[in-house]
C-alpha cells in the first residue's frame, strides 16, 4: 500500500475562506454542487454549478445592467486578496508576555490582514464583540503598499524582517487622486474577514468621523448586510469648541454598529443614581417606589375621538375633561382598571386638576435602553482619553486614544461577562484596558485579542524619546501597567471562590512571522531556484524554529485557539504535547518508533500530527503508522 495515497500532509496555510463559504452554501443547496478531491491535500473541494444554483433560487432570466452599490478602483481585486491564504505563523514571545501559561488574553503583533487570515480556522464564529478604531483617513495616516496586494512578504519588508526588493510604501494624502479608494481597499478585506470571526449573536462597532462615515456604512451594508445595521451612535468627543476650528466645529464621532444576525440582543445599561432618584413612594403604596408620567397623550380629539371622555375627580366628584388637543392615553375601560388598581396620582392633597400615571420601579425593565446619543458626561471625551493614557505611559506618547469609559459602555451593551472581544486596530490598547477594568469592576471573565502593526514611532515623537520603538510596544506596555495597577488595587482585598472567577491579569504575546516550514513555491520556480526548492523539500523545517514555535503554528492551523491548554507528556521513550486534554497529540520528536506510534494510538486522540522527517524515509514504518492510526480512528497527518 503506497503511503502517497494513505497519508495526508498537514496544511500549512490559513483557512480557505472561499471554500468555507462554499461549504456553508452547500448545506442549503446540495443539489447545486459537485465534489472533487484536491490533488495537493487530498481533501474534498466543493464546486458550484451556477445554473443549478440559479434554478434552485427560482431565477430563470439572466439579470444584466446596472446595480445599486458602491464601486471604486481596486475593488474587483479585493476578493483575490481575501481568498489568498496566509502561509505565515504566529510565534510566541514569552519574554514580552505576562502570565503566559495561565492567561487567555492575546496580543498579536503583525499586519492585521495576515493575522485575521491566520485566525480564521481557530476563531471562526467565536468572537462576541469586535471594536475597532481604524485610521479615519484624514491625510498621511496609514501605510499601504502601492500595488495593494498585501501579503506576508509585504509585512516582512515593511518591518525590515527581510531584504527589501524595491517595493514602495507611502502614506495616503489628500492630494492622491484615489484618496478614498486606497482607504476602502485597506478596510474592505479586513472587515470581510472579521465577519467570519463573529459569533452568530456577535456585533461589530466601528469608530469613524464624517470624512469616511458614508463610505464605511456602504461597505458594511455590503459585507454584513443592510438588514444587520443596528445603530449609528453619535459620541460627543469634545467638551468645548476650539476658536481655531474652521467652519462649523466638529464635536462628534460616529460609532457604526452591525450585528452578525438577528440573534444579537443588546444588554440594558444599569440605572445611575440620578435616574433612580426619580422613583419615590409619595403615597406609601405597598408596591414600592414609583415615578409619575403624563396621563394625556399627544393626540387630538379628532385623531382619537374614543379617548376624549370625562373622568371623575376622587376628591371633588366633578367631571374632568382632557384638552381637545391632548386626549387621555387610555380607553375608558383601561382607565377604570387603572382606578381600580390605584395607579393614578392626583397630588399630595388630591389637588391636581388631572391625574398622573404611577410607573413602579419593580415593574419596569432592570436597566435602561441604550440610545444613539452618547454625551461626554457619560462616556468621556478625547481629553479624558489623553489624560488617562498619559497617567499610565506618559504624556503625549499616543495621540487621540479613546477614553476607557467609552469602550466600557460598548462592552456593557454588547458583551456578557465571559465573552471574547477583538480589536484589530488596537493602537494603545484602550480596548484591552477597558476589558480588564470591566472584569475588575463586575467580576467578569471576558477575554481579549489585540492586533497591532509594529508601526515605527516617529523619530521626533515623545514616544520614541520615552523608549517606545513601535506603536505595538506602546500597547503592550499599557496592558502591563494596567495589570500592575489592578494587582496593586486588589492586593489582599478579594477572596475568589474558584479559579473560574479569578481575574485574568495576563496576556500572551505572539508575533507574525514566516512559517517554521519552508514551503514549496506554488508556481513553477525559475530554473536557478529549482535545485534550492528541491533541497528545501528534503528538510523543510527552519533550523531556527523552536519546538514551541512549531507547536503553536500547528496548533493554530489545526483549528485550536492559541490559548488552548497544552500539556507536555511522555510517550514510550519520546515526548509529545497533549492539546485540549488529549483531543490532539503533536509529536515533534525527530525520530519516531513503532512503540511510540502504538502508544499515541492507544491514547485515542481525534488528531495526531508528527514530523514527516521523523520517519527518515522509512516507508514501511510510515505505512505501519497510517494503519495503526486508522485502526484507532485517529486522523493522522505529517508535516
Per residue in 602-616, pLDDT (tens digit) is 999 999 999 999 999
Region 390-408: mean pLDDT is: 94
Q: Is the pLDDT of residue 517 over 70?
A: yes
Percent of the chain with pLDDT over 70: 84
Mention every residue, 6+ apart, whose C-beta is less than 8 A from residue 175: none
Q: Name which residue leads in pLDDT, 157 or 446.
A: 446
Q: Please check the confidence at residue 177 and state whether its pLDDT lies above 80.
A: no
Interior CA angle at 132 toward 127 and 133, to 5°?
Answer: 170
The secondary structure of 6-38 as a DSSP string is H-EEPP-SPP-HHHHHHHHHHHH-GGGEEEEE-
Please compute the mean of the pLDDT values over residues 240-253 and round it to a whole number: 86
pLDDT at 53: 77
Neighbours of 498 (CB within 10 A): 6
Q: What is the DSSP letter of 547?
A: H
pLDDT at residue 446 above 80? yes
Answer whether 311's CB lies under 8 Å from 328's CB.
yes
Tell me if 505 sits within 8 A of 436, measured CB to CB. Answer: yes
- The overall average pLDDT reported for the chain is 87
Q: Checking DSSP bridges between strand 447-452 and strand 420-423, what pairing results, if any?
A: parallel
Of 216-220, 439-443, 487-491, where does mean pLDDT reach its minimum? 487-491
Rounded to whole angstroms, how far apart are CA atoms 639 and 12? 8
Residue 471 confidence class, pLDDT cut points 50, 70, 90 = very high
Domains and CATH numbers, the chain: 3-67 (no CATH), 83-270+368-513 (3.40.50.150), 273-363 (no CATH), 518-638 (3.40.1350)
Reduce the DSSP state of residue 101 to 3 states and report it.
Answer: coil
Determine which helix (DSSP H) or strand (DSSP E) holds 567, and give its type and residue range: strand 566-571
Would you mind telling me the total number of residues written for the chain in this entry?
639
| pTM of this structure | 0.83
pLDDT digits (tens, 9 = 90+) for 584-597: 999 999 999 999 99
pLDDT at 145: 47
| pLDDT band, very low/low/confident/very high, at 5 (cuts 50, 70, 90) | very low
Asked if residues 634 and 608 have their Cβ atoms less than 8 Å apart, the reply is: yes
Q: pLDDT digit string (tens) for 132-174?
A: 999 988 766 555 444 445 567 777 776 766 655 544 455 666 6
- Where is 132: in which H helix or E strand? strand 127-132
User: Quick check: 539 pLDDT over 70?
Assistant: no
Of 121-125, 144-148, 524-528, the one with minimum mean pLDDT is 144-148
Q: What percent of the chain has pLDDT over 90?
A: 65
pLDDT at 28: 77
Give the pLDDT band of residue 56 (cuts 50, 70, 90).
Answer: low
What's the CA gap between 408 and 308, in Å, rounded?
A: 47
Apex CA 483: angle with CA 481 and CA 484, to 5°?
Answer: 65
Mean pLDDT over 1-10 rounds to 55
Buried b (16+ CB within 10 A) or exposed e, 234-272: bbbbbeeeeeeeeeeeebbbbbbbbbbeeebeeeebebe
Amino acid at each position: 500500500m503506497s503511503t502517497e495515497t494513505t497519508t495526508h500532509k498537514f496544511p500549512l496555510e490559513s483557512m480557505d475562506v472561499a471554500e468555507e463559504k462554499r461549504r456553508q452554501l452547500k448545506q442549503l443547496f446540495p443539489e447545486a454542487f459537485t465534489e472533487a478531491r484536491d490533488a495537493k491535500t487530498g481533501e474534498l473541494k466543493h464546486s458550484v454549478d451556477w445554473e443549478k444554483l440559479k434554478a434552485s433560487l427560482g431565477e430563470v432570466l439572466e439579470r444584466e445592467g446596472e446595480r445599486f452599490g458602491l464601486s471604486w478602483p481596486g475593488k474587483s481585486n479585493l476578493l483575490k486578496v481575501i481568498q489568498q491564504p496566509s502561509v505565515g505563523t504566529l510565534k510566541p514571545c514569552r519574554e514580552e508576555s505576562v502570565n503566559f501559561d495561565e492567561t487567555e488574553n492575546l496580543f498579536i503583533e503583525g499586519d492585521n490582514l495576515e493575522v485575521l487570515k491566520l485566525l480564521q480556522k481557530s476563531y471562526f464564529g467565536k468572537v462576541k464583540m469586535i471594536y475597532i478604531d481604524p485610521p479615519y483617513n484624514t491625510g498621511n495616516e496609514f501605510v499601504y503598499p502601492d500595488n495593494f496586494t498585501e501579503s506576508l512578504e509585504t509585512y516582512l519588508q515593511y518591518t525590515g524582517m527581510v531584504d527589501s526588493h524595491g517595493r514602495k510604501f507611502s502614506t495616503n494624502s489628500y492630494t492622491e487622486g484615489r484618496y478614498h479608494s486606497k482607504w476602502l481597499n485597506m478596510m474592505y478585506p479586513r472587515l470581510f474577514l472579521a465577519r467570519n470571526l463573529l459569533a452568530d449573536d456577535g456585533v461589530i462597532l466601528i469608530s469613524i468621523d464624517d470624512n469616511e462615515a458614508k463610505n464605511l456604512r456602504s461597505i458594511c451594508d455590503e459585507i454584513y448586510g443592510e438588514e444587520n445595521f443596528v445603530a449609528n451612535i453619535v459620541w460627543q468627543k469634545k467638551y468645548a469648541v476650539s476658536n481655531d476650528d474652521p467652519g462649523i466645529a466638529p464635536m462628534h464621532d460616529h460609532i457604526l454598529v452591525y450585528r452578525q444576525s438577528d440573534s444579537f440582543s443588546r444588554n440594558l445599561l444599569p440605572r445611575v443614581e440620578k435616574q433612580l432618584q426619580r422613583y419615590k413612594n409619595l403615597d406609601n403604596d405597598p408596591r414600592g417606589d414609583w415615578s409619575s408620567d403624563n396621563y394625556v397623550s399627544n393626540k387630538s380629539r379628532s385623531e382619537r375621538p374614543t379617548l376624549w371622555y370625562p373622568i371623575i375627580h376622587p376628591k371633588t366628584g366633578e367631571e374632568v375633561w382632557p384638552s381637545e388637543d391632548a386626549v387621555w392615553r387610555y380607553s375608558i375601560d383601561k382607565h377604570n382598571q387603572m382606578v381600580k388598581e390605584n395607579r393614578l396620582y392626583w397630588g399630595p392633597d388630591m389637588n391636581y386638576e388631572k391625574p398622573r400615571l404611577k410607573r413602579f420601579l419593580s415593574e419596569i425593565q432592570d436597566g435602561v435602553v441604550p440610545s444613539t446619543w452618547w454625551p461626554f458626561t457619560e462616556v468621556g471625551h478625547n481629553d479624558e482619553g489623553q489624560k488617562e493614557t498619559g497617567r499610565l505611559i506618559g504624556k503625549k506618547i499616543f495621540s487621540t486614544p479613546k477614553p476607557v469609559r467609552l469602550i466600557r459602555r460598548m462592552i456593557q451593551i454588547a458583551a456578557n461577562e465571559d465573552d471574547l472581544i477583538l480589536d484589530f486596530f488596537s493602537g494603545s490598547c484602550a480596548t484591552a484596558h477597558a476589558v480588564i477594568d470591566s472584569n475588575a469592576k463586575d467580576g467578569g471573565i471576558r477575554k481579549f485579542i489585540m492586533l497591532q502593526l509594529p508601526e515605527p514611532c516617529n523619530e521626533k515623537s515623545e514616544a520614541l524619546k520615552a523608549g517606545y520603538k513601535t506603536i505595538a510596544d506602546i500597547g503592550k506596555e499599557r496592558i502591563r501597567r494596567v495589570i500592575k495597577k489592578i494587582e496593586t488595587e486588589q492586593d489582599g482585598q478579594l477572596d475568589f471562590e474558584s479559579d473560574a472567577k479569578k481575574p485574568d491579569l495576563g496576556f500572551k504575546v505572539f508575533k507574525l512571522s514566516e512559517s517554521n516550514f519552508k514551503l514549496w513555491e506554488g508556481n513553477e520556480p525559475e530554473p536557478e531556484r529549482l535545485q534550492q526548492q528541491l533541497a528545501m523539500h528534503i528538510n523543510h523545517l527552519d533550523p531556527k524554529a523552536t519546538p514551541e514555535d512549531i507547536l503553536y503554528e500547528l496548533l493554530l492551523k489545526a483549528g485550536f485557539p492559541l490559548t488552548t491548554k497544552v500539556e507536555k507528556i511522555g510517550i514510550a521513550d519520546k515526548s509529545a504535547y497533549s492539546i485540549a486534554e488529549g483531543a490532539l497529540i503533536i509529536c515533534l520528536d525527530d525520530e519516531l518508533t513503532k512503540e511510540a506510534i502504538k502508544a499515541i494510538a492507544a491514547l485515542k486522540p481525534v488528531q495526531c500530527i508528527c514530523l514527516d522527517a521523523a520517519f527518515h524515509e522509512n516507508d514501511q514504518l510510515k505505512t505501519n503508522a497510517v494503519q495503526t492510526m486508522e485502526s484507532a480512528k485517529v486522523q493522522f497527518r505529517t508535516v
